[in-house]
Structure 1
């Protein structure tokens, strides 16, 4: 509970921003779905067979898993808000269409005949008789769609569209229940509030409902136009993956760029998504820069196997291949490496004088290991370590990445896999064993930049290269700890490091 309250106090502005993103995506999706579904249902109310076909098609759309739909959309429209809105519209069309169609087809035939007898035109009959009578069911469809949209919109964070899903995903990734609860509770409250508002809307007269809807359309249309017009064309957009470390780095990039050119507009997008999404966004020009690691470049981006363990050689090979493959610039790397590590308790290390992975060979029967399932099975994980160091731990448990550190902190295990800059190492007073045979591949971080951004902004390369050879493993571990467990803002931590090391001027 203390953690929950602390996050609300220290990150309330970011939480409100995510809430605003979630609300914006949800309302825009609902409006577009309503504009598509309601007129279509009105037009097809006289054509039963055609209406049934449309209803079947929209029902099939709802059976498509949301992640699969996003995956289909990404190659077509890229990542960010656009594919998220398209996916949400696809899911929302069916309940709105179904309820609107039911509302019109359930109108008493005698009322239709009476309207014809009075000589009302089709248009006047629609406005004066049919729409008001169908409105309760239409509003019900809008309520169902809105609740569905708000719940599904949490997945928008996976493709860089932001929203409350960012906190849910971060909570799962870092095993931080407070973050997870913030995202889940606010999403649920948002759904309840808008369900109640739409229900209240249904009690108004037809004329008032039309006025409210027109106002919402004008408001969001004007906001959208303003966003496009007001955004400077020369803005540099920097994005980062999920977690504290990428957010710290992108805030450093921003400060360094603006130190070089104070007038330069820089937009940062933290928690933007996975490697695949970020790389596609970079190639498509949706972002200009993001921090990437050499090991990830080789394994996931240029897809090279058996690339060795020489950090300098791997960096140069990755840089050359990225330039040739996608005309991207991979700038100079930092000092630290965020690679795999074997981590033990301080007590265990002291008792058996453990400093390197090789030292574990003498105490194999004392090891109680807790490994991530992937690490346990990978050739560059436990299976490779066994051969390289002639190890074979008899007591090995596989578990989810998020609970490994809790297991070692609670004494359930005394050795886990992790990453060299994990803040849990500092929090739980753990010891990272030295990889004395250099088995694990190097993971040096460096800015990955589009060639277009380098050409358009002459000072960009110089600014980002100021981090070349900077930031030690302990520095990064400490900064991650400050953000993850002390709940300091990433931009504050980043700025303090740059100031302390004279990389920027106050």
Structure 2
């Protein structure tokens, strides 16, 4: 069981790192393309192309450049997390009420002040939904990290497939993976709801 708890923690940490790096890159890109909409089509198109590559194929291609280990899986998670983060950031920013922006401009706010004090607070729940989707997807992608020596719950699943009577071993890896996705989705869903401006307005 000690190995299982270590595998769960390692699996989750790999997923979080990949999504975190994607957020650091993807959120600013989403903000930029929301201001320059001519770029949006091309950015989303490139992200969509990445999504069409099968996960195992992506891991295999990256393995030739980065070798075996955790870094390959983190980069894979990073690439697949970009699309939901960029698209949701773009959507959230473009859905901000123009009247709120006009009020901020009328109060003498600079473009940066309007971004941090008006646009991001109003778009944060939609951005959070993108992070939520990315992390749930990442947990599933990380399971294939076992093929490049990254560890995680995928090791347990593969061990079960190689065993003569490995159904219990497979479940020991598959069930925590599924449960991790469900719990993560639920917790981030609660955070997303709390960050939603409409929910705060209804409470007040």
Scaled by the length of structure 2, the TM-score of the pair is 0.92
- 1:25-49 CA-to-partner distances (Å, cap 9, x unmatched) read 0111110111110011112211112
Q: Give the structure 2 partner of residue 278 of structure 1.
A: none
- 1:315-352 CA-to-partner distances (Å, cap 9, x unmatched) read xxxxxxxxxxxxxxxxxxxxxxxxxxxxxxxxxxxxxx
Q: CA deviation at 1:128?
A: 1.0
Mapped partners of 1:67, 1:165: distance in 2: 13
1:47 to 31, 36, 44: 36
- 1:389-434 CA-to-partner distances (Å, cap 9, x unmatched) read xxxxxxxxxxxxxxxxxxxxxxxxxxxxxxxxxxxxxxxxxxxxxx
**Correspondence 1:99 to 2:98:** no
- 1:222-257 CA-to-partner distances (Å, cap 9, x unmatched) read xxxxxxxxxxxxxxxxxxxxxxxxxxxxxxxxxxxx
1:199 to 189, 194, 200: 189
Q: Match of 1:45, SS?
A: helix
Q: CA deviation at 1:203?
A: 4.0
Q: Which runs of 5+ in 1 are unaligned?
A: 1-11, 207-506
**Correspondence 1:28 to 2:10:** no
Q: CA deviation at 1:69?
A: 0.8
Mapped partners of 2:53, 2:47: distance in 1: 10
Mapped partners of 1:60, 1:182: distance in 2: 34
Q: Give the structure 2 partner of residue 154 of structure 1.
A: 143
Mapped partners of 1:205, 1:121: distance in 2: 24
Mapped partners of 1:203, 1:155: distance in 2: 31
CA-atom RMSD, angstroms? 1.3
Q: CA deviation at 1:75?
A: 1.5
Mapped partners of 1:112, 1:119: distance in 2: 11
Q: Give the structure 2 partner of residue 84 of structure 1.
A: 73
Structure whose CA Rg is larger: 1
1 or 2, which has the higher strand percentage? 1
- 1:410-468 CA-to-partner distances (Å, cap 9, x unmatched) read xxxxxxxxxxxxxxxxxxxxxxxxxxxxxxxxxxxxxxxxxxxxxxxxxxxxxxxxxxx
Mapped partners of 1:203, 1:137: distance in 2: 10
**Correspondence 1:173 to 2:158:** no
Scaled by the length of structure 1, the TM-score of the pair is 0.38
Q: Which runs of 5+ in 2 are unaligned?
A: 197-204
Is the Cα contact below 8 Å between 2:124 and 2:195 reproduced in 1? no
Q: CA deviation at 1:204?
A: 4.3
Aligned length: 195
- 1:89-122 CA-to-partner distances (Å, cap 9, x unmatched) read 1111100110010000111222211211111111
1:66 to 30, 55, 60: 55
Moved more, 25-34 or 170-179: 170-179
1:184 to 138, 152, 174: 174
Q: CA deviation at 1:84?
A: 0.6
Mapped partners of 2:187, 2:86: distance in 1: 20
1 or 2, which has the higher helix percentage? 2
Mapped partners of 2:195, 2:8: distance in 1: 30
Mapped partners of 1:157, 1:171: distance in 2: 13
